[in-house]
Amino acid sequence: MNVPGLLALRGQPPRVTLSEAEDVARTLYGLTARAAVLDGERDRNFRLDTSDGSRLVLKFIDPEADDIVVAGQSAALIHIAEQNPQLRVPRVIRTQSAAEPGVVELGARGDRNTPLSCRVRLVTYLPGRLIQNRSVGLPNGQLLRSTGHEIAQLDRALAGFFHPALAQPIVWDVRHAQSLLPVLPQVRSATVQRLLGNALDPIEQLLVRLRGLRSQAIHGDCHGRNLIVSDEGDACVGIIDLGDMIHAPLVLEIAVTMAEFLVDGVASIDAIPQLLAGYTSAQPLDHADINVLYDLITTRIAISVLIQTWRERNAGVSTGANASADSNGLEETFAKALDALASRGRTRLIEQWLDAAGLAVPAHGPTAAMSHGPTAAMSHGPATAAGAEAAAAGDGVTVGRGSAPHADLPPGDLLRRRRTALGANAELSYDRPLHLVRGDGVWVYTADGERLLDVYNNVPHVGHAHPVVVAAIAEQAKRIASNTRYLDERIVDYVERLTATLPPDLDACLFVNSGSEANDIAWRIAKSHTGHDGALVMTHAYHGITDAVTALSPAICAKVPPHVEQLAAPVAARHAASPTAGYTPSATAGRAPDATAAATQGASPNGVTVEADAAAAEADVATAIARLATRGFKPAALMIDSALTSTGIYDPSPSWIAPIAAAVRKAGALIIGDEVQFGLGRSGSNFWGFARRGYYPDIVTLGKPVGNGYPLGVVITRRAILEKFQRDTGFFSTFGGNPVAGAAGLAVLDVLEREQLVDNARTTGSYFISKLRNLAAEFEAVRDVRGCGLMIGVEVTDRVLTKRLVNGLRDRGVLIGSEGPLGNVLKLRPPMPFRPEHADVVVEALTAVLSAANS
Ligand code: PMP
């Protein structure tokens, strides 16, 4: 691997004894002194206490160090002393014969017993402690400002300095980051690998911008181990070790300190602007400098991990100051710093830093631009959901590594163009709309580099841009994207895999491109199979956008047509406990009874017993069927979303649906299980939602999650029913079931199984629900927490509060939605790799927004 400067890291300080150091002090410098060992990564350093009471540092310079580099340091120290005698950097002391550096012959050493000719340098000692080693707490604002100021003074002194040594290739220089990319696959943790990949993504664009910036000699390594703090702990009183000086963009100087302080925990992300303010008070920076600061910092952090990894993989290489920490811990530390930056987001931080640097924040910044546009995320319709999901999934898949982020795109302009292109009423989620350009697992990233936790989108079922799914789609797209009129293994494999998880007689599939289409076809099949044309749906149900299916969707249908009757939501389910039984794939294959085998007994906390709920459901369905009859309709189907999502997210016991299913069958109707929301294990207890509910569908419809973002809709039913429909209609969908869709569907099933995501939905879901219930106990505004697995509803007092909470969470980097006829249910429905630590992030943010709403 050709990494400039990396080999220099192999160097070991020369071995020198205390008495040799004292000898050299005497012979070369005419000093009588006692030597004590000091730390040093590449040089061997000694503190000298001289007989006249002064303190100095004697350095035996790394024998591998280039002569030109050693000469460069001498020249720089002399230059700084000349330009700013007040500046607290080490002063060079020449040898008695006025040499700098001096040269000594050390006695025989090493395997070959050869004498070592070694360059030495004597410098003044700077009293105080290293910032890194301060024993009390984090630095206060005053110390951070003073540190920034001191570094800026150094840069001012260096402004006119030039030396050929400044061109030395240093591996820590962010401009060489690309040469470290081969180390990336060696990073232990896949999560850290992904974070680093993201951090290094903008590198090409960054390099172009850096080449346009004001550059000069900089120290290049002002971290907490090279900065000295006064005994009182409130001022920076020295900067040491100019071994990594380079000619580079000036802003890189403070970027390095900011990055290192964040990683080492010397300063929090909230405190770091003080450092910058201190720096710019003595050395102003301009907009162009601050605009690259975020990327410089993340790149510096990323290369630190890569260098660390490289060192570990190359036995015998010193791991420097971090030698004692274990590498996993280190990776975690670096990842935390990257996380903290990403959570705040590039735009917000750059705004803060511009402010700290005393520069104006541009008026076309995101805050101004985002006040435009409708606040459609809060319009409580599933159509809103579809819009946001399309945005997230679509962008997430198409924007890959190396693509330039659209950081410079004025959001206001895009909003304007969008309004013209898509129509002013095209729904847009959140008061401050999101311009998503990438997704990764449970995270989404905006064009501004802001990272948000996705607790809303169920389309990326196994995680945004899951590499296995993306690869499967790309592989097949590279070969052929034909249609089901040709033979192809993929779609047949897919049907076989899918039907193996279903009751045995649900054994054949039709393919379309969306949940709406699947429901449309299911509805057509039900009508032709039964000869009836009435429908039963849940109150405020949503099943899609075609003409026929909109009629079955009271959530979006202004006037429910006469052939449709709505059934009431379960009541006891508001507080039904979430079953915790383990998920076993085989249990899902069996026929789910239209019965009450798994019924939860007893009363719920709201006093409504499940028996009373079942009795109410029985009466309700009877009345609905009777009402249809009075209008001349017999029911062809009950269409039901097993998660009861748009109805308000409920998790009723099977005893609730049993009388409904019985009445529907008695009336000669089919049951269409809309598994668009709840299918593929979202409940955590069953692979299919109907199995959890305890009913047995005649037709199952699938959409959204099955292709993880690739359009795929499926209608599953009994072969006899399907064949009759094909005969009667000559059904064919051009895109439906094409081999690329088949590849996507198969990959989703693979990942679900391999990553045990259904189990995860159960355990994380239970954890999440219990944490949310604690919130319900704390905040009166939280009325109910219900659902199961990773389909959770949090009912709050009203629509207005819901809107505040949803937008408040968005501002804190957490995306959720809202649901229910009253628009007062927070919808938490993340991708399936959502883990307890993500739940903690949500609960913390929700606590904060609820508290803010209270005050
Ligand atoms: N059924 C349910 C239960 C849904 O939630 C949705 C979409 N939100 C649909 C059907 C329609 O799916 P699509 O938007 O893919 O047409």
Specify the pLDDT at position 34. Answer: 95
What separation in Å is there between the alpha carbon of 689 and the centre of ligand 1?
Answer: 15
Q: What is the pLDDT, as a whole number, of residue 631?
A: 98
Residue 710: DSSP 8-state: B
Q: How far is CA 426 from CA 376, 388, 417, in A?
A: 8, 11, 12
Amino acid (1-letter code) at residue 279: Y
Distance 388 CA to ligand 1 centre (A): 13
Instruction: Give residue 80's pLDDT.
Output: 95
CA separation for the pair 812, 809 (Å, rounded): 5
Residue ID of nearest Cα to ligand 1 atom 1: 543
pLDDT of residue 1: 53
Where residue 105 falls among pLDDT bands split at 50, 70, 90? confident
Among protein residues, the one with the nearest Cα to ligand 1's atom 13 is 515
Q: Average of pLDDT values for 226-240?
A: 90
| 818: DSSP letter | E
pLDDT confidence of residue 716? 98
What pLDDT is stored for residue 311 in this prediction?
A: 82
Mean pLDDT of the region 132-141: 71
pLDDT band of residue 40 (cuts 50, 70, 90) is confident
Confidence band of 303 (pLDDT split at 50, 70, 90): very high
Atom of ligand 1 nearest to the CA of 516: 16
How many Å apart are CA 302 and CA 338, to the nearest integer? 8
Residue 762 to residues 457, 582, 585, 838, Cα–Cα distance (Å): 18, 8, 13, 14
Q: Which among 702, 704, 706, 818 is the best mutation to test ligand 1's pocket, defined by most ligand atoms within 8 Å of the CB?
A: 704
Over residues 603-632, the pLDDT tens digits come to 555 667 888 889 999 999 999 999 999 999
* 8 A C-beta contact, residue 614 and residue 663: no
- State the pLDDT at residue 595: 46
Residues whose beta carbon lies within 6 Å of some atom of ligand 1: 382, 385-386, 514-516, 519, 542-545, 641, 645, 674, 676-677, 703-704
- 681, 818 Cβ separation under 8 angstroms: no
The rounded percent of the chain whose pLDDT value lies above 90 is 67
340 backbone dihedrals φ, ψ, rounded to 5°? -60, -40
**Which residue from 457, 513, 676, 678 has its CB within 8 A of the most atoms of ligand 1, so it is best to mutate?**
676
Q: Helices in 345-381 by DSSP H: which ranges?
A: 346-356, 366-369
Q: Per-residue pLDDT for 391 more than 70?
A: no
β-bridge partners, 121: 59
Catalogue the E-assigned strands of 98-186: 102-109, 114-124, 129-130
Distance of alpha carbon 8 from its chain centroid, rounded? 35
- At 389 the pLDDT is 34
User: Is the pLDDT assigned to residue 369 strictly greater than 50?
Assistant: no
Counting atoms of ligand 1 from 1, which one is nearest the CA of 386? 14
Question: How many alpha carbons lie under 13 Å from residue 487 in its C-beta half-sphere?
Answer: 0
pLDDT in tens, 626-674: 999 999 999 999 999 999 999 999 999 999 999 999 999 999 999 999 9
Assigned token pair, 850:
């609820």
Interval 780-800 mean pLDDT? 96
| DSSP letter for each residue of 335-353 | HHHHHHHHHH-HHHHHHHH
Among the residue ranges 29-43, 328-342, 488-502, 554-568, the one predicted with the least confidence is 328-342
What's the CA gap between 599 and 610, in Å, rounded?
8
The per-residue pLDDT for 13 is 80
The Å distance, Cα 677 to ligand 1 centre, comes to: 7
Q: How confident is the model at residue 702 (pLDDT cuts 50, 70, 90)?
A: very high
Task: Tell which atom from ligand 1 comes closest to the C-alpha of 713.
Answer: 15
Ligand 1, pocket-test mutation among 646, 677, 683, most atoms within 8 A of CB = 677
**Strongest mean pLDDT among 176-190, 399-413, 696-710:** 696-710
Distance 405 CA to ligand 1 centre (A): 31
d(CA 330, CA 263): 9
Residue 500 to residue 169: CA distance in whole angstroms:
60
Find the 825 Cα to ligand 1 centroid distance in Å.
Answer: 18
Instruction: Provide the mean pLDDT of the chain.
Output: 86
| DSSP assignment letter at 787 | E
Q: Which atom belonging to ligand 1 lies closest to the Cα atom of 541?
A: 3
Q: Given a cut of 70, is residue 393 above it in pLDDT?
A: no
Contact partners, residue 330, CB within 8 Å, separation at least 6 = 305, 308, 322
In angstroms, rounded to a whole number, what is the distance separating the alpha carbons of residues 91 and 74? 10
Q: What is the pLDDT of residue 332?
A: 82
Of the chain, the percentage scoring pLDDT greater than 70 comes to 86
- Residue 13 CA, chain-centre distance (Å), reads 41
Query: Distances in Å between the alpha carbon of 397 and those of 221, 630, 730, 737, 854?
Result: 38, 51, 34, 20, 39
pLDDT at position 855: 76
Residue 336's pLDDT band, with cuts at 50, 70 and 90, is confident
Calpha distance 444→343 (Å, rounded):
10
Contact 210, 175 (CB under 8 A): yes
Q: How far apart are CA 799 and CA 158, in angstroms?
A: 60
Look up residue 564 and give its two tokens: 């449709």
- Span from the CA of 542 to the centroid of ligand 1 (angstroms): 7
Q: Are the CB atoms for 453 and 813 separated by under 8 Å? A: yes
Query: Which has the closest alpha carbon to 431: 388, 372, 382, 381?
Result: 372
Instruction: Look at residue 376 and tell me whether its pLDDT is greater than 60.
Output: no
Question: Could you report the per-residue pLDDT of 513-538, keeping only the tens digit for each?
Answer: 999 999 999 999 999 999 999 999 99
Residue whose CA is at the smallest distance from ligand 1 atom 4: 543
Q: What is the pLDDT of residues 672-693, one digit of tens each?
A: 999 999 999 999 999 999 999 9
What are 743-762's pLDDT values in tens digits? 999 999 999 999 999 999 99
pLDDT interval class at 112 (50, 70, 90): low
Phi, psi values for residue 639, rounded to 5°: -105, 125
Confidence (pLDDT) at 111: 58
Of 389, 516, 640, the one to substitute when testing ligand 1's pocket (max ligand atoms within 8 A of C-beta) is 516
Print the SS3 string covering 714-740. EEEECHHHHHHHHHHHCCCCCCCCCHH
DSSP 467-530: HHHHHHHHHHHHH----TTS--HHHHHHHHHHHTTS-TT--EEEEESSHHHHHHHHHHHHHHHH
- 255: nearest Cα among 342, 138, 402, 353: 353
Nearest Cα to Cα of residue 593 among 496, 690, 686:
690
pLDDT for residue 669: 98
DSSP single-letter state for residue 604: -
For range 176-191, the mean pLDDT:
86
**408-419, pLDDT tens digit by residue?**
344 678 888 888
CA-closest residue to ligand 1 atom 12: 515
Q: Which of 377, 249, 295, 221 is nearest to 809 (CA)?
A: 377
Per-residue pLDDT tens digits for 584-602: 444 444 345 554 334 444 5
